C-alpha cells in the first residue's frame, strides 16, 4: 500500500465516520435522558431524506437549503411520537419499550412503502455536487459537506447541553430525573425535548446524506446498525463519546474493508462491538 492510497483510505474513513457520528448522537441523547433504545431512529433518518427529496422535487429547494425546515419537521415528528407512543410506555417493562419502538420502525417503514413505493430515488443536481481533489486525494463534495455538517451539528448540540439553562436541565434529567423534578424541572417536557432533538439530528443527517445516497423506505437499516455500534462504543448517553466512536468505526470499517475485503467490513465492525461489550461494556465515555 502506497502512502497516497493510505491517506485516501483514511480520508474516506474519516468522512463516513463523521456521518455515522451524526446519526448516532440523536440516538444516544434519547437513551441518555430516558434509558429507552429507539429502534425507529433509522426511520427518522429516512423521513429526513424523503423530506429533502420532496422539497427538491416539488419546490426546487436544494437539500442543503432545506436543512432547517427538515430539522423542524423531524423535531415535530419526534415530539408527536413521544406524546402519542413513548409517554404511554415510560413505566412499562423494558421488553414492552423495545417492542413499541420496533413496532414504530415497522409502521413508519410500511407507510413509506405505501405512500412512496419501494423505488430508489436520487437527487441528481445539488449545490454540493462534484468532487474535490487535494493532490492525490480525491473525495466527493457531498460527503465532505455532510462531514462538516456532522461536526457543526454535534458541536452545536454539545454547546446546547453544556452552555444553556435548557440544556443543563436536560442533562440534569438524564442524571437523576427525581432530583431534577424536585428542582422544578418538568420531566415530561424534557423527555419530549430529547425526542424532538434526537429526531431532528436524524433528520439533519438524512438531509445531508440525501445529496449522495439513494432514498428508499429501507434506507435507515443501512445506518442504524452501525449507529448502535457507535453508541455502544462511545458509551450510552454520551454525545462526545458518540462523536469520537463514529470516527473510530468509520476508520475501522474502511480500513478493514480495504485490507481484508469489502464483504467483511460489516463483520469487522460487529466484531468490534462484541469486543467492546466484553472488555469495556460502558464504552469509551460511558458512566461506570
pLDDT at 136 exceeding the cut of 80:
no
CATH number for region 11-130+139-279:
1.10.3470
Going by pLDDT thresholds of 50, 70 and 90, the confidence category of residue 287 is: low
Going by pLDDT thresholds of 50, 70 and 90, the confidence category of residue 288 is: low
66-89 average pLDDT score: 94
d(CA 213, CA 236): 28
The pTM of the full predicted model, rounded to 2 decimals, is: 0.91
Going by pLDDT thresholds of 50, 70 and 90, the confidence category of residue 34 is: confident
Residues 107-128: tens digit of each pLDDT? 999 999 999 999 899 998 888 8
What is the residue extent of each domain of the chain?
Answer: 11-130+139-279
d(CA 191, CA 203): 18
pLDDT at 134 exceeding the cut of 80:
no
Q: What percent of the chain has pLDDT over 70?
A: 99
Going by pLDDT thresholds of 50, 70 and 90, the confidence category of residue 140 is: confident
Q: Using alpha carbons only, what angle is made at residue 105 by residues 45 and 82, rounded to the nearest 5 degrees?
A: 80
Going by pLDDT thresholds of 50, 70 and 90, the confidence category of residue 64 is: very high
d(CA 279, CA 73): 40
d(CA 272, CA 229): 8
Cβ atoms within 10 A of the Cβ of 248, count? 19
145 vs 286 pLDDT, higher one: 145
Which pLDDT belongs to residue 59? 93
Amino acid at each position: 500500500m502506497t502512502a497516497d492510497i493510505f491517506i485516501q483510505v483514511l480520508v474516506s474513513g474519516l468522512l463516513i465516520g463523521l456521518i455515522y457520528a451524526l446519526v448516532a448522537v440523536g440516538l444516544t441523547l434519547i437513551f441518555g435522558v430516558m434509558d429507552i433504545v429507539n429502534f425507529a431512529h433509522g426511520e427518522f433518518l429516512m423521513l429526513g431524506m424523503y423530506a429533502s427529496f420532496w422539497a427538491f422535487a416539488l419546490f426546487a429547494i436544494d437539500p442543503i437549503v432545506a436543512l432547517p425546515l427538515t430539522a423542524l419537521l423531524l423535531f415535530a415528528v419526534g415530539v408527536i411520537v413521544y406524546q402519542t407512543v413513548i409517554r404511554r410506555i415510560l413505566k412499562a417493562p423494558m421488553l414492552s419499550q423495545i417492542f413499541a419502538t420496533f413496532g414504530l420502525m415497522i409502521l413508519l417503514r410500511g407507510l413509506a412503502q405505501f405512500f412512496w413505493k419501494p423505488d430508489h430515488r436520487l437527487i441528481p443536481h445539488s449545490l454540493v455536487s462534484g468532487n474535490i481533489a487535494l493532490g492525490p486525494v480525491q473525495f466527493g463534495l457531498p460527503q465532505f459537506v455532510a462531514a462538516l455538517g456532522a461536526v457543526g451539528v454535534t458541536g452545536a448540540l454539545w454547546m446546547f447541553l453544556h452552555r444553556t439553562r435548557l440544556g443543563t436541565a436536560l442533562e440534569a434529567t438524564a442524571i437523576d430525573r427525581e432530583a431534577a423534578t424536585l428542582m422544578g424541572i418538568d420531566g415530561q417536557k424534557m423527555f419530549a425535548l430529547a425526542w424532538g432533538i434526537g429526531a431532528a439530528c436524524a433528520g439533519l443527517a438524512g438531509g445531508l446524506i440525501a445529496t449522495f445516497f439513494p432514498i428508499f423506505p429501507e434506507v435507515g437499516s443501512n445506518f442504524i446498525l452501525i449507529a448502535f455500534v457507535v453508541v455502544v462504543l462511545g458509551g450510552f448517553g454520551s454525545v462526545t463519546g458518540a462523536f469520537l466512536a463514529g470516527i473510530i468505526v468509520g476508520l475501522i470499517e474502511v480500513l478493514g474493508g480495504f485490507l481484508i475485503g469489502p464483504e467483511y467490513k460489516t463483520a469487522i465492525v460487529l466484531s468490534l462491538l462484541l469486543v467492546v461489550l466484553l472488555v469495556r461494556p460502558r464504552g469509551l465515555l460511558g458512566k461506570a
